[in-house]
Amino acid sequence: MLKGKTAIVTGSTSGIGLGIAKALAAQGANIVLNGFGDVDSPKAEVAALGAQVGYHGADMSKPADIEAMVQYANTTFGGVDILVNNAGIQHVARVENFPVEKWDAVIAINLSSAFHATRLVLPGMQAKNWGRIINVASVHGLVGSAEKSAYVAAKHGIVGLTKVTALENATSGVTCNAICPGWVLTPLVQKQVDAKASAQGISNADATKQLLGEKEPSLQFTTPEELGGLAVFFCSPAGNNVRGVAWNMDGGWTAQ
């Protein structure tokens, strides 16, 4: 379905981004991976699906790096048809104790990076009259949780950016939508499970049960594969007139 299209997926060396990159690759898209850590295995996993794979190591907190990444996609693959703004970090502390540099980093990586990547790819999408921008927000784009001020502010912000981008392009073939996952067991969440287990002196299994039980009625994690399926839907012809939604996939978290 996506043969000949090129997707940039930010923060795709692990977790949700890698799951979405693989789902788009399985539909035939060329993929530009981005993110830190091991690059060879994610590259190999995506290439095994028959996709052409590139990589750019842009630090998503740096606008000049984001510009270089989009330029790389343009010169390597001839343009960007799908942009998945996924890179994100978490920091947990009460507002009065929240380190200022952590606030700035969360806002830069989880919110401003999406603005920069979006503004840079839009002209090319508008010229082709086809494009898909998918912002990986969170249930925290819809509701709050204590000790996550920067994250919740950034995720509410990216839902707002999604709506405005969708509206400004509403009469064109360029759509913009957000995905709002509940808990997904990735390294970002594993750190929170580990912290809970050590703070309370309980096992990882008990900490996981507690984490899910507090918020997610299904008591199940959403998987990167399921989120990849939603991203593919947004890119499909059935998604042509889906514009500006913040679609939760959260085991009932925000239904409460």
Rounded Cα distance between 82 and 74, Å, is 12
| For ligand NAD, the closer CB: 37 or 237 | 37
- Single out the residue of 30, 61, 112, 169 in contact with ligand NAD (rule: CB under 6 A): 61
Residue in 158, 181, 156, 169 with CA at minimum distance from that of residue 242: 169
17 is an interface residue for ligand NAD by CB under 6 A: yes
Decide if residue 14 touches ligand NAD (CB under 6 A). Answer: yes
Q: Which stretch binds ligand NAD (CB under 6 A): 6-14, 70-78, 126-134, 169-177?
A: 6-14
By the rule CB under 6 A, 112 interacts with ligand NAD: no
Q: Which is nearer to ligand NAD, 35 or 239 (by Cβ)?
A: 35
* Near ligand NAD in 70-89, by CB under 6 A: 86-89
Q: Which of residues 199-238 bind ligand NAD (CB under 6 A)?
A: none
**Residue 73 near residue 84, CB atoms below 8 Å:** no
Q: In this structure, are residues 136 and 85 in contact, taking their beta carbons and an 8 Å threshold?
A: yes
**Residue 251, interface with ligand NAD (CB under 6 A)?**
no
Which residues contact residue 168 at a Cβ distance below 8 angstroms, ignoring those fewer than 6 apart?
none
Q: Is 55 a catalytic residue?
A: no
Residue 183 is a binding residue for ligand NAD (CB under 6 A) = yes
Instruction: Give Cα separations from 15 to 22, 46, 118, 211, 229 (angstroms).
Output: 11, 13, 22, 18, 14
Question: Can residue 133 be called a binding residue for ligand NAD (CB under 6 A)?
Answer: no
The CA-atom distances, in angstroms, between 147 and each of 90, 99, 152, 236 are 10, 12, 9, 37
**Chain residues that interact with ligand NAD, rule: CB under 6 A:** 11-17, 34-37, 59-61, 86-89, 109-110, 136, 138, 181, 183-184, 186-189
